[in-house]
Amino acid sequence: MKEAIVQDSLLFGADPLAGLVAVELVEAEKGDSMALFVREGEVVRREIEPFRPFLFLNDPALGQGLPGEMAELKGTLPFRWRVNFPTWKACLKAKVLLAKATGRTAGDPGAPYFLVSDPVQQYLMATGRTLFKRLPFDQLRRMQVDIECVTSEGFEFCNPDRAADRIIVIAVADNTGWNMVLSGAEMDEPELLNRFLSLVRERDPDVLEGHNIFNFDLPYLLARARRHGIKLALGRDGSVPAIRPGRFTAGDRTIAYTRFDVFGRHVIDTLFLVHAYDVTHRSLEGHGLKDAARHFGLSSADRTYIDGPEISAVFRTDPGKLLRYARDDVRETGALSRLLSQSAFAQAQMVPLSYQNICVRGNATRIDALLLREYVRQGHSLPAPDPARPFAGGYADMFIQGVVRTVHHCDIRSLYPSLMLSRRIGPRHDVLGAFPELLEKLRRFRLEAKAAARSARTEAERLHYEALQTTFKVLINSFYGYLGFDQARFGDFDAAERVAAEGRDLLRSMIQWLEGRGARPVEMDTDGIYFVPPPFATVGQRDTFRREFEKALPPGIEVEFDGEYEAMFSYKVKNYALLDVNGEVVIKGAALKSRGLEPFQRQFLREMIRLKLEGRDEALPGLKARYAQEIAERRWPIARLAKTETLQDSPGTYAAKVEARGRGRNAAYELALASGREYRAGDPISYYVTGLRKTVPVHSSARLVSAWDSEARDENVAYYLAKLEALYDKFCGGTLGGESREE
């Protein structure tokens, strides 16, 4: 089965080159080339191949005067002319000329020219090669990096631009089991940096990994290296990283970050992997390394913990503890990456993108790359993008609000892909039929990969096939989104609208079937339905009910009954909590675990939800009374009441916006301005609210946590009691106070 999969040129590319771990552009005046890094066991060899970049035109007249050679492509789609260039600079020059001549930038969907702006993607598309082909995941050399720094007195977080905020620990490890922790108690900062760089050269990793490595570790290392005149030579050619602004999007979350491109290596941020995971599962309490490690059971019993504000003090009093803490950080980062990055690794074996780009780009971009590669391989013309327009999307609904007992879940397997295949819905401009062929093969190979995982002889083999089938599932479920993706070359908004409409009709018919057999739907979306089944006297009756439900579905639509729960707390669409048969509580949805709440509110919600799920509503007033007493008697450390916000702008920019009435006042920025310290964008600020009344302007009543005095506590008890009361009333009062009510 494995050979059948990897030999499929549509999915994995036509070229069989194995062990390719990185591709990098090497520019030269007479002609560019690509540096290929190919891993063979412990050795990575470097090869050089010529590279001819290209772009596409919808009018041959536009090619006049461009510094390249034009050729006509097969077919009658609008972009029928391909221009090849001797160098990437010549290609970019042509882009500038075309933008000037047409008045449209390359990113404009209506532009009469089309350029794939990544030279590595162009090379992989043109050659049919992909990364990591036939390379087991554990043979990829992955190095984890974590740094710790001292923070100047009065600040809550270190900043590389402050002279005193130096690096005091650099911990590194890799997937061979090797690790090393460099201590600032034994060497000064330049020595730390130089020793770290020598370790990177010696271990020669294919991948650098870290949790928040883009927005913390690498920018900090680069800034401190520059301060000491040290070249941060992390590239395989001895070069420093190229940096530029980037944006990572996962669901409705967008993270601005500093992208680091290291020659011959990939940089993977496990924070992004965690965000991507949580978009689907919505089960994480936080995205930090410690939260994620605890969630996945990766933390060891003797794990060393140090709160961020304590790092400087611990370094002075017990540096050994800080070294153990940093070693645990890189160990957990490696374990987290091994768990979450294998799907991206498997996608890199198929999709003509770099591994780093696969981890930061959306699924629709990957499908676009697969389709473009096939059209390039066949020398075929390309379509113009479908004009973007709004259309009615999927169907999600809540039928019962409150606590519901004995809830089952029916998973609808890939509803939209199933509809697209069974009803032959696809992009109208895909004249080669690559879209449905890709979708059909992904579905078939996913079933084969799942079967191979079940029969695997080793754990490594099982993990490989699990990653492969997960990758197939991720891509399969993205085909509908691709149709409505406004940057898709083969997008089709009419087709997307038809798929969504047929999906809505099917889901409504499923709800009607359940209700007609005495079941009570609780909540549903395109992934599945939570419902209370009719009373079953025997397991046989339950199984008969499920078989009849499956038979009622149209051809090509499959379901799986994959969960039975003691209780469900249904709050609103896609926001609910489940109590499983083992007593575990799973909370999904931002409304039930918003990170905008103070820590005590999040903890109260968790305890409240468990009591409601367990049917212990009589204990809710006591829970509230206990929290109220602890607030009133000032028993908690201030961290339980404090909020932490990260400055998105510099305080000066914020002040200018307020002056221009471009935004309202914000507590974190006001504190930064009043502190007299040099706060910058990206600095986190933790604060609490002072005063005596429950209604106070937070921006003028806030105080820095670092200024809190445990001997003269001044937190606003009335304010926090009112917050507790409001939270209690919201979830425990009215119709949500008891058992379910039907909408």
Report helix angle 270-281 to 319-340, nearest 10: 50
Q: Would the pLDDT of 382 be above 70?
A: yes
Q: How far apart are CA 621 and CA 513, in angstroms?
A: 40
Asked if residues 741 and 735 have their Cβ atoms less than 8 Å apart, the reply is: yes
Phi, psi of 617 (to 5 degrees): -60, -25
The pTM score is: 0.86
**Residue 541 CB partners (closer than 8 Å, separation 6+):** none
Closest CA to 257 of 209, 219, 206, 308: 219
Q: What is the pLDDT of residue 461?
A: 80
Asked if residues 666 and 649 have their Cβ atoms less than 8 Å apart, the reply is: no
**Does 588 or 366 have the greater pLDDT score?**
366
Q: What is the CA radius of gyration of the chain?
A: 28
Q: What is the pLDDT of residue 593?
A: 78
Most confident of 236-240, 554-558, 591-595: 236-240
Average pLDDT over residues 78-85: 98
- Domains of the chain, each with CATH number or no CATH: 2-121 (3.30.342), 137-341 (3.30.420.10), 387-426+492-590 (3.90.1600.10), 599-736 (1.10.132.60)
If you average pLDDT over every residue of the chain, what do you get? 92
Q: How far apart are CA 587 and CA 286, in angstroms?
A: 12
For 668-684, write each residue's pLDDT tens digit.
999 999 987 777 766 77
pLDDT category at 743 given cuts 50, 70, 90 is very low
Q: Would the pLDDT of 648 be above 80?
A: no
Q: How far apart are CA 80 and CA 101, in angstroms?
A: 19
Q: Please classify residue 180 by burial: count the beta carbons closer than 10 Å to its beta carbon, then call 0-12 exposed, 13-18 middle and 19+ buried.
A: middle
Q: How far apart are CA 266 and CA 209, in angstroms?
A: 8
For 614-641, write each residue's pLDDT tens digit.
999 999 999 999 999 999 999 999 999 9
Q: What is the pLDDT of residue 642?
A: 94
Query: How many other CB atoms are there within 10 angstroms of residue 585's CB atom?
Result: 15
Which DSSP letter does residue 61 get? Answer: G
Q: How far apart are CA 179 and CA 471, in angstroms?
A: 30
Q: What is the pLDDT of residue 1?
A: 41
User: Which residue shows structure tokens 């406004």?
Assistant: 486
Q: What is the pLDDT of residue 64?
A: 93
pLDDT more than 70, % of the chain? 97
Q: Would the pLDDT of 500 be above 70?
A: yes
Q: How far apart are CA 604 and CA 627, in angstroms?
A: 8
For 136-171, write each residue's pLDDT tens digit.
999 999 999 999 999 988 777 788 988 999 999 999
Average pLDDT over residues 448-459: 87
Q: What is the pLDDT of residue 224?
A: 97
pLDDT category at 742 given cuts 50, 70, 90 is very low
Q: What is the pLDDT of residue 724?
A: 96
- Strands 207-210 and 266-269, by their bridges, are parallel
pLDDT category at 4 given cuts 50, 70, 90 is low
Q: What is the pLDDT of residue 666?
A: 94
| Length of the chain measured in residues | 743
Q: What is the pLDDT of residue 18?
A: 96
Q: What is the pLDDT of residue 427?
A: 97
For 702-736, write each residue's pLDDT tens digit.
999 988 999 999 999 999 999 999 999 999 875 55
Residue-wise DSSP of 241-289: PEEEEEEEEETTEEEEEEEEE-TT-EEEEHHHHHHHHHHHH---S--SH
At residue 553, what is the residue type? Answer: L
Q: Would the pLDDT of 665 be above 90?
A: yes
For 225-267, write each residue's pLDDT tens digit.
999 999 999 999 999 999 999 988 887 777 888 999 999 999 9
Asked if residues 326 and 171 have their Cβ atoms less than 8 Å apart, the reply is: yes
Q: How far apart are CA 501 and CA 495, in angstroms?
A: 10
